[in-house]
């Protein structure tokens, strides 16, 4: 194995806590097998650091199969490291060359404060969902599954949007730190289905309002989010969000008038 | 007492399993359950630990009913629990395909698939509830696959004779979890659920013989805190990570259920683990986890190894006559579609025989060449495109031009905390849901049934049964300022300090790998008396070494991932020992538990119903003492035990 092993130099962001100041620290990663995943390479680096009495690099990760959305950091300026349609846990060392120098940074976005080293706080995403990213249906009150017919194409488009893993790469890569792609994915998923119709416009309004409450920037159509999204979620969904948001302004106002008039 | 003698208690466990006709047992049980007045529900606080399918659905549903819920997960968001990784689908007895499915058939298949080691009443209820789960998930907006006419699509899965599996591409678990997560977040917004992410439960507090709260550690600040509740619900998943390498997420752990076990909750059937046959093989000793590929691949792929030992030729250079399609040869009627345990065991056998392929000879070929020739590359791409891509991303090999290499990996644990029909453990007020309990799958779980059980427990069982317990505790004041809480907190702190104080030479992962390897070798796909006895000697020795030589750097009052891992691995040591003890005492083969001494002349698993038709529930007996075995006898009034045959 050592015949093919590669040697890398890592510049890793180290920050002991949310309020501490951080800095880059350089580590040598020797004898790295090309068959390892990127996170396994970091495991090896951490085992060696621990043996030397140095605290390991903290990074978020869980399923290591690209679906939980826990992992993610920036490698040489690209969220998840630049392999198309992939999270960093699915990136393998065979894509790197001997002698490569890599800079590892946490997601850089005001809305995602650093927790430690490469870990950030993405709880703003949960709050966007809390604002309206659901269908209000209590357990037990559902009709038969086939009582509601959904055209196959609508179900497919809904699924294209619904597969967002909430990793935050879109925000990290966006020069403005905007959360439009994440928010649009949920809004479009539900707007595409009959189940999502009753609350459709309220939802768009409430979720967009929540983005503005958080420290996200505005969307100016750079499109970098789509380029790094591990699930390839299309920015067409942002157009869909904008349409629903505009319609919402008109509708919600009218609904308020109607409700006020009858009351 | 030596480590390998078993003390058996004859005291019977009360499963509170209703009698009478099986079709109406749940209905009658629900009618008999005491109700909590709607206006009184808000006076109760329920603690839910774990927010996967079972925990999130339970927390949301109980909050909708009016209970005050506090929910905890170790992940940074409840949306990331490992339920998210389930690919295949969820079973439900809808019979939408008009192909003869029914609640009774799903019940029958599950009891039989579980090799007659599950409680009939529970399994029937699971099958009965399965249909409501689909309705609920559809209403939430889960984008299930559809037919052109707009109806829900189904497929046959895991060798089932009917098409009862609902799916959302290869991401069914993800979509179901996001549905439950959204329902949960809706209740967070409504103020009915208080969510505590990045928080790990480190002990259950038992007061006056009933569960009264938990002690947790905030994983960001390291603060240890107490939380009180009128009831505690554990939905913390399985213990497959005891093996170090498994298809579980890295953070999956058994600490919550293990701590509960030490506080009096019996642990049932710990030796029942499921090994999944179609995983990507280990590539090196740095391997951190294993990746599962949907077993639907076996519908079109043919499994083979070279006939000759140590054959190092490339697969394409091995002529047809020198290949051994061992499943097709041995099981002519099921062929490559034999159940998971049979496929896994046979793969191990051919590798043990020196005919395995790939690094270390731990792999077998899964070959699509015939299917591509028969159906065309495009058809295969449509069916398995995403799986082929995943395989290529991980291995760097193209499965369209060379066969995949696969090997079995630990995937699911059927064992778990013992629960009665109400899903309550042997500690009153402590409920256990989903993979964390032992209840519905017997000795072997069928494909697409894990998602079904998690959601059944959370959406449709616990919201009913918890009220029956709570109503007797009306008006009881909650306080964390009690002797039991103080004692539990102090034990948690001492343990953290002890882990940090060792400052030995080996990392946590190094110990975990060694434990995992030991369990895999001696308590894996096939077990025997000598191996299990050996493991029962080696595990305690390794555990002692761990406590003397583990190296955990950093402090307790900060984010410290090594410390988190250390606590979990310490618990895996104790659990691993119990797994071996249970496996040793069960000298029959059943389901996922293959005892080499108990096989037919043809080398197939041989059950021993006369001696082992019971649930083995182990009671904690104190530090360094062997647990005491309790038996819950299993009776089969509807599905009559028969030996499985796939010839």
Span A155-212, pLDDT tens digits: 999 999 999 999 999 999 999 999 999 999 999 999 999 999 999 999 999 999 999 9
Question: Does residue B239 surpass a pLDDT of 60?
Answer: yes
Asked whether the beta carbons of B430 and B262 are under 8 A apart, the reply is no
Both structure tokens of B306: 């070279």
**In CATH, what number does A6-116 get?**
3.10.20.30
Residue with tokens 């007895």: B93
Q: Are residues B407 and B489 in the same domain?
A: no
Contact A196, A148 (CB under 8 A): no
B400 and B494 belong to one structural domain: no
Question: Do B377 and B490 belong to one domain?
Answer: no
Q: What residues have CB less than 8 Å from B187, skipping those under 6 apart?
A: B59, B60, B63, B64, B69, B193
The minimal CB distance from B393 to the residues A63, A86, A131 is found for A86
Kindly list the residues from chain A whose CB atom is less than 8 angstroms away from the CB atom of residue B183: 134, 139
Q: How far apart are CA B50 and CA B257, in angstroms?
A: 11
Within 8 A of A54 by CB-CB distance, chain B residues are: 553
Interface of A with B in 165-224 (CB under 8 A): 165-166, 189-190, 193, 195-196
Angle between helices B103-113 and B120-140 (to 10 degrees): 120
For residue B43, pLDDT over 70 is answered with: yes
- Residue of chain A whose Cα is closest to the Cα of B247: A63
Residue whose C-alpha is closest to residue A140's, from B255, B105, B438, B137 = B137
| Cα–Cα distance list, B433 to B50, B440, B516 (Å) | 10, 11, 26
Contact B140 A166 (CB under 8 A): no
Q: Per mean pLDDT, which of A233-237, B109-113, B356-360 is the most reliable?
A: A233-237
Question: Given pLDDT bands bounded at 50, 70 and 90, which one contains residue B12?
Answer: confident
Average pLDDT of the residues of chain B: 95
Helices (H), B353-482: 369-375, 377-395, 450-455, 462-470
Query: Strands B90-91 and B165-166: what pairing?
Result: antiparallel
Helix (H, G, I), strand (E, B) or coil at B517: helix
Is residue B409 helix, strand or coil?
A: strand
C-alpha to C-alpha distance for B205 and B260, rounded to whole angstroms:
9
**Phi-psi category of residue B537: left, alpha or beta, with phi > 0 → left and psi -120 to 50 → alpha:** alpha
Most B CBs within 10 Å, among A40, A67, A160, to test the B interface = A67
- Across the interface, of B80, B459, B460, the residue whose CB is closest to A68 is B80
The CATH architecture that domain A122-262 belongs to is Orthogonal Bundle (1.10)
In the numeric block, which tokens belong to residue B312? 């190092």
What is the nearest CA distance from B186 to chain A, expressed in angstroms? 5
Measured between CA atoms, how close is B60 to chain A, in angstroms? 8
* B135–A143 CB contact, under 8 Å: yes
- Residue pair B521/B362 in contact by the 8 Å Cβ criterion: no
| ipTM (interface pTM) | 0.97
Contact call for B148 and A126, based on CB within 8 A: no
Residues B306 and B406 in one domain: yes
Decide if A103 touches B, using CB distance below 8 A: no
Residue corresponding to tokens 């993979």: B435
Q: Is residue B82 part of a domain?
A: no
CB contact under 8 Å between B141 and A135, yes or no, is yes
| Cα gap A176→A181, rounded to integer Å | 12
The pLDDT of residue B439 is above 50: yes
Q: 3-class DSSP state for residue B205?
A: strand
B404 shares a domain with B301: yes
> What are the beta bridge partners of residue B631?
B616
- Are B287 and B404 in the same domain? yes
Partner-chain contact A152 B148, CB within 8 Å:
yes
Q: What is the pLDDT of residue B2?
A: 46
Q: Put the strands of the sheet holding B68-72 in their side by side order.
A: B193-196, B68-72, B45-49, B231-234, B430-432
User: Of residues B7 and A221, which shows the higher confidence score?
Assistant: A221
Q: Does A2 touch chain B (CB under 8 A)?
A: no
Beta strands in B280-345 (DSSP E): 302-306, 323-324
Tell me if B640 is assigned to some domain: no
In this structure, which long-range contacts are made by residues B464-468, counting pairs with CB atoms below 8 Å and at least 24 apart in sequence? B464/B30, B464/B33, B465/B33, B465/B421, B465/B422, B465/B423, B465/B424, B465/B431, B466/B46, B466/B62, B466/B67, B466/B231, B466/B233, B466/B431, B467/B33, B467/B34, B467/B35, B467/B36, B468/B33, B468/B34, B468/B422
Q: Is the pLDDT of residue B1 over 60?
A: no
Identify which of B79, B151, B168 has the shortest CB distance to residue A149.
B151
Is the pLDDT score of B73 beyond 90?
yes
Nearest CA of chain A to the CA of B10: how many Å?
41
pLDDT at A1 over 70: no
Q: Please list every residue in chain B whose beta carbon sits closer than 8 Å to the beta carbon of residue A43.
A: 286, 288, 509
Residues of chain A in contact with residue B250, where contact means CB-CB under 8 angstroms, are 61-64
Number of independent structural domains in chain B: 2
Length of chain A: 263
Q: Which residues of A touch B148 (CB under 8 A)?
A: 152
Q: What is the pLDDT of residues B361-420, one digit of tens each?
A: 999 999 999 999 999 999 999 888 888 999 999 999 999 999 999 999 999 999 999 999
Mean pLDDT in residue range B303-325: 96
**pLDDT for A2:** 44
Looking at the DSSP bridge assignments, the partners of residue A23 are A14
Minimum distance, in Å, between the CA of residue A221 and any CA atom of chain B? 27
Residue B437 lies in a domain: no
CA B4, B9, B14, B20 torsion: positive or negative? positive
Query: Vertex B426, ends B421 and B428: CA angle to 5°?
Result: 90
CB contact under 8 Å between B136 and A142, yes or no, is: yes
The three state secondary structure string of B559-602 is CCHHHHHHHHHHHHHHHHHHHHHHHHHCCCCECCECECCCECCC
Classify residue A65 as left (phi > 0), alpha (psi -120 to 50) or beta. Answer: alpha
Please state the domain extents for chain A: 6-116, 122-262
User: A 21-50 residues with CB below 8 A of B?
Assistant: 33-37, 39-40, 43-44, 47, 50
Contact B559 A17 (CB under 8 A): yes
- What does the pLDDT average to over B145-152? 97
The answer to whether the Cβ–Cβ distance between B82 and A134 falls below 8 Å is no
Q: How far is CA B489 from the centre of its chain?
A: 29
Q: Any idea which residue has 């399609």 for tokens?
A: B325
Contact A134 B562 (CB under 8 A): no
**In angstroms, how far is the first alpha carbon of chain B from the final one?**
44
Interface test with B, best of A63, A119, A194 (most B CBs within 10 A): A63
pLDDT bin (cut points 50, 70, 90) of residue A261 is low
Residue B452 domain-assigned? no
Token representation of residue B340? 């998971």
Q: Do B79 and A146 touch (CB under 8 A)?
A: no
Residue A144: band (very low, low, confident or very high) from pLDDT cuts 50, 70, 90: very high
pLDDT of residue A257: 82
Same domain, B492 and B583: yes
Contact call for B284 and A149, based on CB within 8 A? no
Q: What are the two backbone dihedrals, phi and then psi, of residue B589, each rounded to the nearest 5 degrees? A: -100, 140
pLDDT for the residue B10 = 61
Say if residues B214 and B88 touch (Cβ distance below 8 Å): no
Same domain for B490 and B572?
yes
Q: Which domain holds residue B588?
A: 483-604
CA distance A200 to A191: 6
Q: Domain check: are B403 and B493 in the same one?
A: no
Over residues A96-124, mean pLDDT: 98
Collect all residues of chain B within an 8 Å Cβ-Cβ radius of residue A159: 143, 168-169, 175
pLDDT bin (cut points 50, 70, 90) of residue B151 is very high
Predicted confidence (pLDDT) at residue B247 exceeds the cutoff of 70:
yes
C-alpha A80: how far from chain center: 10
Q: Is B61 in contact with A139 (Cβ distance < 8 A)?
A: yes
Nearest chain B CA: its distance from A152 CA (Å): 5
Report which of B440, B354, B400 is spatially closest to residue B110, judged by C-alpha positions: B440
Please tell me the distance from the alpha carbon of residue B264 to that of residue B428, in angstroms, as a whole number: 10
Q: What is the domain-level CATH number for residue B539?
A: 1.20.58.100
A252 touches chain B (CB under 8 A): no
Question: What distance in Å separates residue B93's CA from the closest CA in chain A?
Answer: 12
Q: What is the pLDDT of residues A45-95, one digit of tens each?
A: 999 999 999 999 999 999 999 999 999 999 999 999 999 999 999 999 999
Which of A119, A122, A139 minimises the CB distance to B136?
Answer: A139
Q: Which of A45, A68, A213 to mutate to test the interface with B (most CBs of B within 10 A)?
A: A68
Tell me, yes or no, if A11 comes closer than 8 A to chain B by beta carbon.
Answer: no
At which of B411, B434, B463 does a domain end?
B411
Distance (Å, rounded) from C-alpha B71 to C-alpha A37? 33
Whether residue B554 is contained in a domain is answered as yes
Interchain contact, A36 vs B286, CB within 8 Å: yes
Are B94 and A39 in contact (CB < 8 Å)? no
Categorise residue B548: left if φ over 0, alpha if ψ from -120 to 50, beta otherwise. alpha
Residue A151: closest C-alpha in chain B: B150
Interchain pair A145, B561: CB under 8 A: no
Min Cα–Cα distance to chain A from B13, Å: 32
Name the least confident of A9-23, A29-43, B524-538, B633-647.
B633-647
């Amino acid at each position: 194995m050592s015949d093919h092993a590669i040697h890398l130099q890592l510049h890793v962001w180290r920050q002991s806590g949310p309020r501490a100041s951080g800095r880059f620290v350089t580590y040598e990663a020797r004898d790295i097998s090309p068959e390892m995943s990127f996170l396994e390479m970091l495991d090896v680096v951490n085992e060696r650091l621990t043996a030397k009495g140095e605290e390991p690099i903290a990074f978020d990760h869980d399923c290591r199969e690209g679906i939980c959305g826990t992992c993610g950091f920036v490698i040489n300026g690209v969220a998840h490291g630049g392999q198309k349609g992939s999270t960093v846990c699915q990136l393998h060392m065979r894509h790197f060359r001997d002698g490569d120098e890599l800079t590892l940074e946490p997601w850089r976005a005001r809305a995602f404060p650093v927790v430690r080293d490469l870990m950030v706080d993405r709880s703003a995403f949960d709050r966007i969902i809390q604002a309206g990213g659901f269908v209000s249906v209590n357990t037990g009150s559902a009709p038969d599954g086939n009582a509601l017919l959904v055209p196959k194409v609508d179900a497919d488009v809904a699924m294209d949007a619904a597969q967002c893993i909430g990793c935050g790469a879109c925000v990290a890569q966006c020069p403005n730190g905007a959360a439009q792609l994440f928010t649009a994915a949920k809004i479009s998923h539900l707007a595409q289905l009959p189940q999502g119709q009753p609350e459709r416009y309220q939802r768009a309004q409430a979720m967009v309002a929540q983005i503005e409450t958080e420290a996200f920037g505005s969307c100016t159509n750079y499109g970098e989010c789509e380029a790094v999204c591990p699930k390839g979620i299309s920015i067409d969904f942002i157009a869909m969000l904008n349409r629903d948001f505009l319609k919402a302004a008109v509708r919600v106002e009218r609904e308020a008038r109607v409700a006020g008039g009858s009351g | 007492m030596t480590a390998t003698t078993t003390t058996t208690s004859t005291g019977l466990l009360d499963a509170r399993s209703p009698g009478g006709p099986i079709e109406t047992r749940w209905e009658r049980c629900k009618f008999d359950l005491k109700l909590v007045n709607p206006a009184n529900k808000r006076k109760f606080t329920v603690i839910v630990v774990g927010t996967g399918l079972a925990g999130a659905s339970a927390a949301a549903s109980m909050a909708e009913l009016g209970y005050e819920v506090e929910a905890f997960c170790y992940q940074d968001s409840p949306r990331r629990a490992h339920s998210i990784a389930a690919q295949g689908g969820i079973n439900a007895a809808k019979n939408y395909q008009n192909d003869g499915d029914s609640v009774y058939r799903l019940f029958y298949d599950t009891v039989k698939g579980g090799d007659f080691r599950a409680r009939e009443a529970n399994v029937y209820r699971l099958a009965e509830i399965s249909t409501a789960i689909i309705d609920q998930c559809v209403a939430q907006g889960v984008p299930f696959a559809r037919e052109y006419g707009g109806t829900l699509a189904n497929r046959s899965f895991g060798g089932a004779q009917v098409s009862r599996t609902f799916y959302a591409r290869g991401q069914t678990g993800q979509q179901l979890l996001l549905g439950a997560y959204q329902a949960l977040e809706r209740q967070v917004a409504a103020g009915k659920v208080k969510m505590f992410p990045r928080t790990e439960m480190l002990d259950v507090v038992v007061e006056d013989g009933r569960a009264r709260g938990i002690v947790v550690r905030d994983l960001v600040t390291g603060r240890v805190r107490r939380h009180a509740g009128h009831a505690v619900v554990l939905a913390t998943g399985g213990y497959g990570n005891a093996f170090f390498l498994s298809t579980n997420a890295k953070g999956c752990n058994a600490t919550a259920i293990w701590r509960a076990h030490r506080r009096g909750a019996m642990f049932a059937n710990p030796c029942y683990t499921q090994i999944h046959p179609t995983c990507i093989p280990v590539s090196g000793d740095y391997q951190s986890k294993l990746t599962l590929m949907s077993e639907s691949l076996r519908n079109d792929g043919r499994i083979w190894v070279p006939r000759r030992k140590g054959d190092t030729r490339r697969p394409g250079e091995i002529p047809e006559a020198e290949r051994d399609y061992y499943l097709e040869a041995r099981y002519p009627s099921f062929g490559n579609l034999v159940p998971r345990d049979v496929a896994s065991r046979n793969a191990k056998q051919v590798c043990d025989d020196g005919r395995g392929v790939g690094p270390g000879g731990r792999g077998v070929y899964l070959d699509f060449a015939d299917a591509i020739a028969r159906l065309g590359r495009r058809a295969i791409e449509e069916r398995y495109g995403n799986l082929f891509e995943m395989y290529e991303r991980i291995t760097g090999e193209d499965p369209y031009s060379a066969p995949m290499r696969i090997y079995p990996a630990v995937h699911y644990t059927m064992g778990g905390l013992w629960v009665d029909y109400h899903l309550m453990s042997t500690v009153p007020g402590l409920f256990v849901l989903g993979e964390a309990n032992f209840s519905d799958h017997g000795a072997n779980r069928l494909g697409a049934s894990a998602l079904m059980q998690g959601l059944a427990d959370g959406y449709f069982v616990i919201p009913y049964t918890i009220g029956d317990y709570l109503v007797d505790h009306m008006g009881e004041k909650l306080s964390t300022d009690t002797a039991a809480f103080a004692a539990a907190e102090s034990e948690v702190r001492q343990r953290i300090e002890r882990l940090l104080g060792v400052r030995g030479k080996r990392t946590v992962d190094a110990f975990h790998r060694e434990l995992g390897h030991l369990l895999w070798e001696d308590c894996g796909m096939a077990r025997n008396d000598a191996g299990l006895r050996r493991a029962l000697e080696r595990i305690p020795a390794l555990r002692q070494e761990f406590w003397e030589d583990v190296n955990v750097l950093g402090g307790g009052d900060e984010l410290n991932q090594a410390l988190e891992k250390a606590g979990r691995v310490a618990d895996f040591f104790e659990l691993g020992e119990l797994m071996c003890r249970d496996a040793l005492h069960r000298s029959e083969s059943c389901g996922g538990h293959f005892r080499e001494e108990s096989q037919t002349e043809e080398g197939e698993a041989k059950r021993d119903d006369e001696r082992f038709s019971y649930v083995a529930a182990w009671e904690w007996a104190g530090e360094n003492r062997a647990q005491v075995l309790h038996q819950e006898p299993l009776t089969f009034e509807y599905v009559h035990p028969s030996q499985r045959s796939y010839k």
